[in-house]
Structure 1
Amino acid sequence: MSRLTGWRLALRMARREALRAKGRSVLVLVMIALPVLAVTAADVVLQTQDVSSVEGLDRRLGSAAAQVVVPAEGRPMIQAFDPEQGSSTHGRKQDPPTAADISAVLGGARLVEERVGGVDVRTDKGSAWAQTTQVDLRDPIAAGLAELTSGRLPDRPEEVVVNQALLDKGYAVGDRLELRGRDAPSPVIVGVAESPEARDYPFAAGPVGSLDVAGGYSAGRTWMAGGGPVSWETVTKLNAMGATVLSRAVIEDPPPPSEIPEEIRAWSSGTDDAFLAAVALIVVMALLEVVLLAGPAFAVSARRQSRSLALMAASGGTPAQSRRVVLAGGVVLGGAAAALGVGLGIGAGWLLVPLVQRMSSTWFGPFDVPWLHLAGVAAFGLASAVLAAVVPAWIASRQDVVAVLAGRRADRPPSVRSPILGLVLLGAGVAAAAYGASASQNGEVLIAGAAILAVLGMIFVVPVVVAGVARLAGRLPLSPRYAARDAARHRTRTVPAVAAVAATVAGVVALGIAVTSDEAENRDTYTPTLAMGQAAVTGYGLSPARWTELEEAVRREAPHADVAPIAGVIERGRNRVELTAPGHHGALVDSTTVNFGSSTLVADSVPAAVPGLSAADRERADAVLARGGVVAFADDRMDGDAAVVTRGTERATLPAAYVHFEAGPDAPLAAVLSPAAVDRVGAEAGTVALAVSGAELSAAQRENVSEAVAGVTTNAGFYVERGYQADQGTVIVQLVLAALGAVLMLGGTLTATFLALSDARPDLATLSAVGASPRRRRWIAASYALVVGFVGSVLGAAVGFIPGLAVAVPLTSSAYSDTGPYLDVPWLLVVGLVLGLPLVTALVVGAATRSRLPLVARLD
């Protein structure tokens, strides 16, 4: 029989077996199709969200052939194919090209001027920033730069269109758009048009000059060019004249990468090793996960086919033919699962895109199905199914034909070489992780490889661990004892399930440690702007009348808050104050954040908004200020009770309290002076900030106060100190990790448990026949789930610490500071995976398992 004929027969047998055992086949399809579906949906959403240079051409060029930008500097330029991906000056200064010069190079192409920028717009609450585009929107070249939804396009410089986000700030069609700035125009809103990019922040568009504010427009010029395609040769000519060019023809059909100037290529050349290592780690771990999850199903399938395979062997069949039959099952089910997963994933991605779009402030690109990526995903699903069938196929080819035909079954004893190899791999993983943590280069690659070695080593150790658990189960009640010993007896289906759970937990623990350690570094190195819970309006160089307006604006938007002025030294000209310590050379602090518009405040007691003071320091400082002294911040701990205060030629030695600031690299202030100290040196004091306290401000109130403050002056800002706030993306990653770990662990444990129950029907029927209660099957099922889940999670958590701890070191160490490395283990996540999920899984399995079974005859 030829090999092709043998595979045709094996595939036919696999198809019939899949149709015969529909329940088990559906289970395998689900296990393989779900990861394929999830990856496909994620890829479709990410590709749709990512607007490539080609997809973004219409929103940047409209219908133009090219966009030509001439910087005001007037030097030759070099650029990438897309100037946003890299451009630079390259040569001596020269006269910038005119519109006529550019049109001549472009073969007499018609040019339409465009100006892109932003303006401050008055709103109901005060002021907000809006993105702007100035171009003749009625010109066919500009088609696509704004999408009209109602009203009409502007046809005069006194008219504009705005998007809905700007209307929500208190405008309507027919109103005048009030711009802030010297000699600012007030164009009439004649329509509503959405930006092709901005989704939920203000946008306005109109003819050139309709939105210009004096002092806000650069001398650089931008033109949209009509006419025919603009070649790369033409782009380089315009570069030499001092312009950068976004050419539709070049982006859609780019020349060889070697055409990009070497300086620009150097900026974008190379790939992040950490990114590649992360991708490789995710791909390998995902492949292991799917293989290990599907492995038990193929093991049970091979067990069900054992008699057919034994008869085939007894009739002269070879071990290779037996392996081929089991592997064909992986080909049939894997191919079907891959196709099903990709198809459903595309549909899921299409449904998810509108939901994800709501979380983005910019518009996604067109719905994008990356067929090349998805072909790889489908191949991944097929390969994982075939790999999952390899071990069951190898075991099936080595089965004892006589024992199988006699109706006996049992796995071979665990190999002595297996745990030794596993320990060697684990040791190599620990060594590689330790070396990668200390390596100056390619450490991330070594740590990723260490994680893979550790997981592989753990898989080889699992059979011995399962056998050990069975030996230790002698004192347990009947159900967990039976489950532990049955798991050890049928290791071909138990070991992959335990290893799958362990691999899942290892990956989640490793990534969890890395994420939380990075978060610990961010939290520890955070420097507060104000004291915790305090809010302040800060500004610089504002008049007393302006501070009065700001106070009224805050009281209007936050009527229940207490608003009080904070006084400080007006730092201009020779009015600056310096503090020195007797016998100490140099400044007391290297730098200050100037959070209050002045580095030196004036008060009888330290304002509550000043951060970085302990209760004892604050009490000591207030006592000194009450005596007419000063409070001086210092980078080092200073002894003494006096300081020298200097303003110009005036100098005074006054009582002092020195405060060591440890919360970050910059002190919040240089000093706090008492009014008496200010009088001694003749300094000018005045309001430099407003303290806002006494009320918890909602997010909407904070936004309203910020707009109200900006409405008074753009030189002031409003800030509420809420301490370190975890990045939203980090929180999402942590939640996704926990959810992913829970889903995969539950799926793996449930799959393994129900496959084991299906395989153990004869044993459970025998138990029932000898007097076991109907509920015994539920207790055994729950116990089996507990054994698989608990053993797998303990092993996985232990192995996950290896790459997790290793990656935390380079991730949280800085070559530019003394801080780090940081280590923060997410113990709640670890405990939940190790204890919580196995118990939940056991309860689910116990509740979902039938308590009665028909009696089945058995021979062993």
Structure 2
Amino acid sequence: MNVPAWRAALRIARREAWRAKGRSLLIVLMIALPVFAGSSADIVYRSQQLDRNERLERKIGQADALVRDARVQAAVVQDPDNGDDMAQAMILQSLPSGTPGAYQPPEELHPDVLGSVPAGSTVVPRVQIPLSLRTAHGMTTADFVEFDYRHPLAKGIVWQTAGRAPAKADEVVVTEKFLSVSGLRIGGTLTQPDSGRTFTIVGTVNLPDALRQRSVFAMPGALLEKLDPRPGPPLEYEYLVDAPAGTYTWDKVRELNAKGIVATSREVDGSKLADREVPYRQLAFGVDQVSDLAVAVGVVVLGMALLEVVLLAGPAFAVGARRRRRDFGLVGVAGGDQRHIRTIVLADGVVLGVIAGALGTVLGLGAAWFSRGWFADMSGKELGHYEVRPLELAAVVALGIVIGMIAAAVPAFLAARENIVDSLTGRRGVRRGSRVLPVVGAAAGAAGLGVAYYGAAVNPNDIVLLAGCVLAQLGVIACCPALVGMAGRLGRILPLTPRLALRDAARNRPRTAPAVAAVMAAVAGAVAVTAYWAGTDHDDRESYRPRAGHGQVVAYPPPGRALDAGFTKAIEDNLPVTGEGMVMGYASSYCPPGQTCTTVSAFIPEANQCPLYSGDQGENPVPTEAEVAAARTDPRCAPGSNEFWGMVNLPVGDADLVRRVNGSTDPRIPEALKNGAVVFDERYIHDGKVTISIGTIYSAEPGPGGQMPEPPNDPLPPPRTFDVPALYVESDGFDYAAVILGPEPAKLTGIPVEPTQLVYDTTKMPSEAAQQRAQEALHALGGGGVEVERGYQGRPSTQILLLGAAAVLVALGASGVATGLALADGRKDLATLGAVGAPPRVRRALSAAQSWVIALIGTSLGVVVGLLPAAALRWKTAEVAERAQEAAIAEGGLQNTSKLPDIVVVIPWAQMGLALVVIPLLAAAIAALCTRSREVMRPRSG
């Protein structure tokens, strides 16, 4: 490197940047944008990575361990760093590795958590349960927690944000989220309607890792243990323990896991344990890793963003080089060669890159600090300490310099090729486009498509995926000059002004092609993400299973409570329901503790049951790998085949009931219900009939005071069955029940039907306020729930709107830069037009036409090129979804997983068509408004 030449070039570049402040500021802002984003993102990312002390303080405060019941009544395996990441040890036996041994049902455990704590240890209990709470608006549910977070062991778990901690049994603090949704305030009262207890709110708090949590904190013993016994889930106990060293080593934690206890231990956290020492890591769903799909989306979008900046800054550098042609000619007259001219233009990129890097980094530092609260609100977690890593920020600044030099490289090369005489006289030479470049570009585009497919579907790799997308886009960019030249041939069929604009764009491809490529990159990025989100929306829509017909109201009583006229009136008085709403039948298998109950349900014949779960499995019911592989193609074991949600084992009714609860209006239904049943799952049918089973069960749930009831003296009678004719029909999108029995066949059970649930049609979609009023009315009657089927709501479109706006701005900016360069180059053409009598408005019309041509060509290419990364990301989505389903199958079996929707590439035709029309017209309108009709005539040079 010639140091003196670079020193002089940098001096010239600094003076030129100061002289052309407007253009320099434009380039600095464009280059500073990715530096700003990179530096702020780096600081926020590092701040989200909590260090060991911060992580433990939020989880276990200052204690040595947090221990609790695993709540599965069986041996478990857990993650060393977090006891909440756990699974039943029995799942390990279902993994495909090794030969399954003899089946051993898990031993039912009732762990004594407090009994496992060494004597003499300090223990701080935390007990919680979701409770109904009365608010200023009505009723809601929140976690009621009894926990003395003022204790030294609890420091850091709960953050006080306002007021003070509770000091008496009738005082509580609430999380800020609960306060905002409840309409209450500090100093107000909070009522727990089940007990009638009233508490005074004395402050607000936040849980740093769960800012959206709706919780109420009270002193220990304030309420919860006084509510027992009560319906619903049991109280959840956790214990902060300050114990002697060595109490909670990994070996001791494993011993607790075998007893059904999990522990988050300070001594174990962060230890470098080998995978063989951590059985939990054998489970694919137990590995804590960033989603491959999220990384793929991020790297593709980031790559496109950097490419857009380079392509946008390139024409801006070209504007400066074009305006300094005479200066470069003087350099040549003084003895300078092409290397010196290239160095001068490249020095522009270095100087402006340094300025942009410094500016972007400073703005990034400030943005990362002031946006901490916003990121906390978005992520639902407080960030950790503000961490700045100088080496990483230096790399981001270097990225700005590199972007500046890359953007200036092509203008530097073109400026160095200028003839000295042409530069001094202002003449423009004619250059022919390369015939090799389009061929290379087409080959690169095809190769990029293949590489992207390979990196997404064949051998998933995010780097390969990004490389393929970028390679394909670079290939299309290489073809841009040839495509612009081909478009120029269409000018003969256009009116005068667009013909001049199109031919000018084709003649000056070095300045037009980068602008077209920049517009293409911007639109391609928007199309890629829009198509990706359209695909995920398609997946969610396909996976969504409505619980009723659109607009229908579903209401249900609490377990064990009869559905009476008062319950029905509460719904009909508050919601716009119409027609009959009662669902008669045989309820689900809830049986009051200590009682013997009769159940009536449809039965799947042995021949139609999935072999993995059928009763005839021999002495070794753990399936082999071959049996699992065969079950994957067996329709009897299909994922999602258990997705019937109704709270009724067997509904009984007429055709109108079938229409209300399963949506079917098949004309054969009334006749089928006279003597039999309507079936919505073919597995229930055998030889044209469905089997109805009547059984007897005994509830062994704890009774009052937690005492187990005595079993009955007489053995339970064996189940009896009978068959009725069955008609198979398909439901209309919502699966309430697998079988619906007719009223006459139901008499064969000898057991009367009873009201079980309400499913109403409505005259209009109920409002949220009406639904809340109905919920309040149900609570006044003793509880229950009400739901409104509002259909698939879709995803928020804010991200797509923001991305679309950004793409439009980038496209308009690229068009504007290219139009400005075209006007600078075309002054002599405009002067000639004026001399031959062209009106002043021609200048404005020509500017609009030039901008329209650039935006139209770039947008047209962008909507096509953007589908490639969208398709690659969809291929990646399919691969990630298949892996997630495999993990779910390992955890819960085939039938307990949801059916995987077809992963297809969804093309957003409407958005693409809108972009093709709006962006070019908007670019043309802005160019016309920002262009002067008249310009001062300048004398010819040379």
| Interval containing the TM-score (normalised by the shorter chain) | 0.7 to 0.9
2:682 aligned to which of 635, 647, 663: 635
Cα RMSD between the aligned structures? 4.3
CA contact (8 A) 1:148 1:191 kept: no
Alpha-carbon distance between aligned partners in 2 of 1:704 and 1:44, rounded to the nearest angstrom: 47
Shift in CA distance, 746/596, structure 1 to aligned 2, threshold 3 Å: same
Structure 2 residue 600 is the aligned partner of structure 1 residue 576: yes
Alpha-carbon distance between aligned partners in 1 of 2:387 and 2:777, rounded to the nearest angstrom: 42
CA contact (8 A) 1:36 1:381 kept: yes
Deviation of 1:65 after TM superposition, in Å, equals 5.3
- Which digits, 9 at most, give the CA deviation of each residue in 1:734-756, with x for residues without a partner? 33332332222222222222233
Structure 2 residue 491 is the aligned partner of structure 1 residue 470: no
Structure 2 residue 913 is the aligned partner of structure 1 residue 831: yes
CA contact (8 A) 2:456 2:872 kept: yes
Alpha-carbon distance between aligned partners in 1 of 2:21 and 2:403, rounded to the nearest angstrom: 20
CA contact (8 A) 2:453 2:875 kept: no
Q: Which residue of 1 aligns with 2:651?
A: 601
Q: Which residue of 2 aligns with 1:785?
A: 851
CA contact (8 A) 1:187 1:210 kept: no
Alpha-carbon distance between aligned partners in 2 of 1:515 and 1:350, rounded to the nearest angstrom: 30
Q: Aligned to 2:902, what secondary structure does the other structure show?
A: coil
Q: Aligned to 2:790, what secondary structure does the other structure show?
A: coil
Q: Aligned to 2:848, what secondary structure does the other structure show?
A: helix
Q: Which residue of 2 aligns with 1:516?
A: 534
Structure 2 residue 901 is the aligned partner of structure 1 residue 845: no
Structure 2 residue 775 is the aligned partner of structure 1 residue 758: no
Shift in CA distance, 468/83, structure 1 to aligned 2, threshold 3 Å: same
Structure 2 residue 146 is the aligned partner of structure 1 residue 134: yes
CA contact (8 A) 2:691 2:721 kept: no
Q: Aligned to 2:729, what secondary structure does the other structure show?
A: strand
Structure 2 residue 413 is the aligned partner of structure 1 residue 389: no
- Which digits, 9 at most, give the CA deviation of each residue in 1:801-856, with x for residues without a partner? 33333443453476576852423210112112222211111111111211111112
Q: Which residue of 1 aligns with 2:616?
A: none
Q: Which residue of 1 aligns with 2:11?
A: 12
Deviation of 1:418 after TM superposition, in Å, equals 0.8
Q: Which residue of 1 aligns with 2:752?
A: 684
Alpha-carbon distance between aligned partners in 2 of 1:725 and 1:292, rounded to the nearest angstrom: 39
Aligned residues: 833
Which piece of structure 1 moves more, 331-340 or 344-353?
344-353
Q: Which residue of 1 aligns with 2:326?
A: 307
Alpha-carbon distance between aligned partners in 2 of 1:722 and 1:204, rounded to the nearest angstrom: 30
Alignment of 1:339-378 (within 5 A): 339-348=358-367, 374-378=393-397
2:668 aligned to which of 597, 611, 620: 620
Deviation of 1:783 after TM superposition, in Å, equals 0.8
Alpha-carbon distance between aligned partners in 2 of 1:393 and 1:333, rounded to the nearest angstrom: 15
Shift in CA distance, 681/44, structure 1 to aligned 2, threshold 3 Å: same
Alpha-carbon distance between aligned partners in 1 of 2:768 and 2:392, rounded to the nearest angstrom: 41
Alignment of 1:662-681 (within 5 A): 663=733, 667-681=735-749
Q: Aligned to 1:568, what secondary structure does the other structure show?
A: strand
Letter in 1 for 2:14: R
Alpha-carbon distance between aligned partners in 2 of 1:81 and 1:232, rounded to the nearest angstrom: 16
1:295 aligned to which of 314, 318, 341: 314
Unmatched 5+ stretches in structure 2? 93-106, 590-596, 611-634, 695-718, 886-898
Deviation of 1:468 after TM superposition, in Å, equals 1.6
Which piece of structure 1 moves more, 417-426 or 78-87?
78-87
Deviation of 1:114 after TM superposition, in Å, equals 3.2
Q: Which residue of 1 aligns with 2:766?
A: 697
Which piece of structure 1 moves more, 198-207 or 819-828?
198-207
- Which digits, 9 at most, give the CA deviation of each residue in 1:283-334, with x for residues without a partner? 3322211110100011122222332223223333233222211111001111
Alpha-carbon distance between aligned partners in 1 of 2:329 and 2:267, rounded to the nearest angstrom: 66
CA contact (8 A) 1:484 1:784 kept: yes
Q: Aligned to 2:668, what secondary structure does the other structure show?
A: helix
Q: Which residue of 2 aligns with 1:285?
A: 304
Shift in CA distance, 653/301, structure 1 to aligned 2, threshold 3 Å: closer
Deviation of 1:379 after TM superposition, in Å, equals 2.8
Deviation of 1:49 after TM superposition, in Å, equals 7.0
Letter in 2 for 1:569: Y
Which piece of structure 1 moves more, 505-514 or 605-614?
605-614
Letter in 2 for 1:6: A
Q: Aligned to 1:118, what secondary structure does the other structure show?
A: strand
2:728 aligned to which of 622, 637, 658: 658
Structure 2 residue 511 is the aligned partner of structure 1 residue 497: no
Alpha-carbon distance between aligned partners in 2 of 1:493 and 1:103, rounded to the nearest angstrom: 81
Q: Aligned to 2:785, what secondary structure does the other structure show?
A: strand
Alpha-carbon distance between aligned partners in 2 of 1:50 and 1:827, rounded to the nearest angstrom: 40
Letter in 2 for 1:524: E
Which piece of structure 1 moves more, 95-104 or 343-352?
95-104
Alpha-carbon distance between aligned partners in 2 of 1:258 and 1:633, rounded to the nearest angstrom: 50
Structure 2 residue 809 is the aligned partner of structure 1 residue 743: yes
Letter in 1 for 2:192: E
Alpha-carbon distance between aligned partners in 2 of 1:521 and 1:480, rounded to the nearest angstrom: 44
Alpha-carbon distance between aligned partners in 1 of 2:464 and 2:838, rounded to the nearest angstrom: 54
Q: Which residue of 1 aligns with 2:220?
A: 208
Shift in CA distance, 784/170, structure 1 to aligned 2, threshold 3 Å: closer
Alpha-carbon distance between aligned partners in 2 of 1:585 and 1:403, rounded to the nearest angstrom: 87
Q: Aligned to 2:216, what secondary structure does the other structure show?
A: strand
Shift in CA distance, 187/208, structure 1 to aligned 2, threshold 3 Å: farther
Q: Which residue of 2 aligns with 1:554?
A: 571
Unmatched 5+ stretches in structure 1? 105-109
Shift in CA distance, 802/203, structure 1 to aligned 2, threshold 3 Å: closer
Q: Which residue of 2 aligns with 1:481?
A: 499
Shift in CA distance, 402/377, structure 1 to aligned 2, threshold 3 Å: same
1:794 aligned to which of 836, 860, 866: 860
Alignment of 1:700-711 (within 5 A): 700-706=769-775, 709=778
Shift in CA distance, 263/354, structure 1 to aligned 2, threshold 3 Å: same
CA contact (8 A) 2:684 2:691 kept: no
Alpha-carbon distance between aligned partners in 2 of 1:118 and 1:500, rounded to the nearest angstrom: 56
Q: Which residue of 2 aligns with 1:222?
A: 239
Q: Which residue of 1 aligns with 2:192?
A: 178
Alpha-carbon distance between aligned partners in 2 of 1:366 and 1:558, rounded to the nearest angstrom: 50
- Which digits, 9 at most, give the CA deviation of each residue in 1:596-652, with x for residues without a partner? 31132222333377455454x1x4324554x56543324389999987766565746
In the superposition, the TM-score normalised over structure 1's length comes to: 0.84
Structure 2 residue 338 is the aligned partner of structure 1 residue 319: yes
Letter in 2 for 1:701: A
Alpha-carbon distance between aligned partners in 1 of 2:723 and 2:658, rounded to the nearest angstrom: 27
Shift in CA distance, 677/127, structure 1 to aligned 2, threshold 3 Å: farther
Alpha-carbon distance between aligned partners in 2 of 1:176 and 1:595, rounded to the nearest angstrom: 35
Deviation of 1:123 after TM superposition, in Å, equals 1.8
Q: Which residue of 1 aligns with 2:615?
A: none
Structure 2 residue 904 is the aligned partner of structure 1 residue 822: yes
Which piece of structure 1 moves more, 745-754 or 48-57?
48-57
In the superposition, the TM-score normalised over structure 2's length comes to: 0.77
Shift in CA distance, 677/515, structure 1 to aligned 2, threshold 3 Å: same
Q: Which residue of 2 aligns with 1:69?
A: 67
Deviation of 1:765 after TM superposition, in Å, equals 3.5
Alpha-carbon distance between aligned partners in 2 of 1:382 and 1:603, rounded to the nearest angstrom: 75
Which piece of structure 1 moves more, 568-577 or 477-486?
568-577
Deviation of 1:13 after TM superposition, in Å, equals 0.4
Q: Percent identity?
A: 30
Letter in 1 for 2:730: H
Alpha-carbon distance between aligned partners in 2 of 1:306 and 1:101, rounded to the nearest angstrom: 83
Letter in 1 for 2:411: P
Deviation of 1:522 after TM superposition, in Å, equals 2.6
CA contact (8 A) 1:589 1:634 kept: no
Q: Which residue of 1 aligns with 2:896?
A: none
Deviation of 1:23 after TM superposition, in Å, equals 1.9
Q: Which residue of 2 aligns with 1:107?
A: none
